[in-house]
């Protein structure tokens, strides 16, 4: 681990911890009483402050919960034990789309803080693989591997940010380079608004979805991350969108995911569909029935299905 030579960040507030780890404030308080962890300090006003080491452990606990463990079974372990358990569980739960050796050079560039070299290597892979294969076979598993390394403390926050910025630059350039209809030609369909809700700051999943949709000929309108719900509805209606696509990472509180989806469905016109994707557990367990949950690999088929239904409706 290459972060030992740096001073640890200052303690985090309970809101910071909720946002960083995806563990709700009320859950942190329950664990504090039930398991005697975390053990926050207090500021002069009596508010909780969580040391960096405890935040690291909470990331690992949340990672293991996402992989199916119960809090009481893991929260008493040391950070080192949790890290080993997370690595073992992640390897068993998710078969890699590419051999681990293919990802290692990219991870090494992240750890070496070689942002320019990382972008060049990603760009070269994109040219060889093409946009769709790049997203599904390299970008998706690499993003997961970087997230796992960050959660296990093997990558510093700024190293993960270097990776994110480099990948965003490469993918944005590739999307911009896709052919667009000329003047006087009708815009492609469906028209899809892509964004995240205010609590979701992670945008790589959204960018991967946009790349696959744009490569398949959809008209994508990206608002970036953390858009207020009323603005999502307003933009979707004013832009004449057929769909709103949202991404939810595992760090977001599942209750907030469900609340946002229900509110959006109630606010949006019935003819505007909602597609949701990402690693959040709420999408796997109890997503609303009127929301379509998609993995990245499902996007081409979902687009084809939408176009087939639209063609039938037009013919009828």
CB 201 within 8 A of CB 225: yes
Cα-Cα-Cα-Cα dihedral sign, residues 14, 15, 19, 24: positive
What's the sign of the alpha-carbon dihedral 74, 12, 66, 98? negative
- Preceding amide of 126 cis, omega within 30: no
Give the tens place of pLDDT for each residue, 144-186. 888 888 777 788 878 888 999 999 999 999 999 988 765 566 7
**Contact yes or no for 53/10 (Cβ under 8 A):** no
- Do 62 and 22 touch, CB atoms closer than 8 A? yes
All domains of the chain in start order, with CATH: 12-93 (1.10.1660.10), 100-176 (1.10.1240.10), 191-315 (3.40.50.280)
Instruction: Give the model confidence (pLDDT) of 17-42 as tens digits.
Output: 888 887 888 899 999 999 999 999 99
- DSSP at 104: H
pLDDT of residue 96: 45
How many CB atoms are closer than 10 A to CB 274?
A: 20
Higher per-residue pLDDT: 179 or 310: 310
Q: What are the respective helix, strand and coil percentages of the chain, to the nearest 5?
A: 60, 10, 35
Distance between CA atoms of residues 229 and 197, nearest Å: 7
How far apart CA 43 and CA 193 sit, in angstroms, is 42
The Cα–Cα gap between 55 and 12 comes to: 8
**Could you tell me the pLDDT band of residue 59, with boundaries at 50, 70 and 90?**
confident
pTM score over 0.85: no
Cα 315 → chain centroid: 38
Report residue 243 as tokens. Answer: 């769909």
Q: Does 282 score more than 60 pLDDT?
A: yes
pLDDT reported for residue 255: 86
């Amino acid at each position: 681990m290459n972060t030992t030579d740096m001073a640890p960040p200052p303690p985090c507030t309970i809101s910071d911890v909720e946002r960083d780890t995806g563990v709700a404030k009320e859950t942190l308080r329950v664990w504090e009483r039930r398991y005697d962890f975390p053990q926050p300090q207090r500021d002069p006003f009596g508010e909780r402050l969580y040391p960096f080491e405890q935040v690291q452990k909470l990331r690992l606990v949340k990672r293991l919960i996402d992989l199916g463990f119960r809090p009481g079974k893991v929260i008493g372990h040391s950070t080192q034990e949790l890290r080993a358990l997370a690595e073992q569980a992640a390897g068993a739960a998710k078969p890699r789309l590419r051999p681990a050796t293919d990802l290692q050079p990219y991870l090494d560039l992240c750890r070496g803080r070689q942002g320019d070299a990382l972008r060049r290597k990603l760009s070269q892979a994109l040219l060889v693989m093409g946009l769709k294969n790049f997203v599904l076979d390299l970008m998706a598993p690499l993003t997961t591997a970087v997230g796992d390394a960050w959660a296990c403390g093997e990558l510093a926050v700024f190293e993960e940010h270097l990776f994110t910025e480099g990948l965003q630059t490469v993918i944005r350039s590739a999307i911009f380079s896709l052919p667009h209809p000329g003047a006087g030609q009708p815009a492609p369909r469906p028209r899809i608004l892509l964004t995240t809700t205010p609590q979701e700051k992670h945008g790589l999943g959204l960018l991967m979805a946009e790349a696959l949709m744009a490569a398949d000929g959809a008209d994508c309108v990206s608002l970036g991350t953390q858009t207020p719900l009323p603005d999502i509805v307003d933009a979707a209606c004013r832009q004449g969108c057929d769909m709103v696509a949202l991404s939810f990472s595992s760090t977001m509180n599942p209750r907030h995911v469900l609340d946002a989806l229900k509110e959006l469905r109630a606010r949006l016109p019935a003819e505007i569909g909602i597609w949701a994707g990402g690693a959040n557990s709420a999408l796997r367990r109890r997503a609303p029935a009127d929301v379509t949950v998609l993995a990245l690999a499902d996007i081409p088929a979902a687009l084809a299905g939408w176009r087939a239904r639209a063609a039938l409706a037009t013919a009828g």
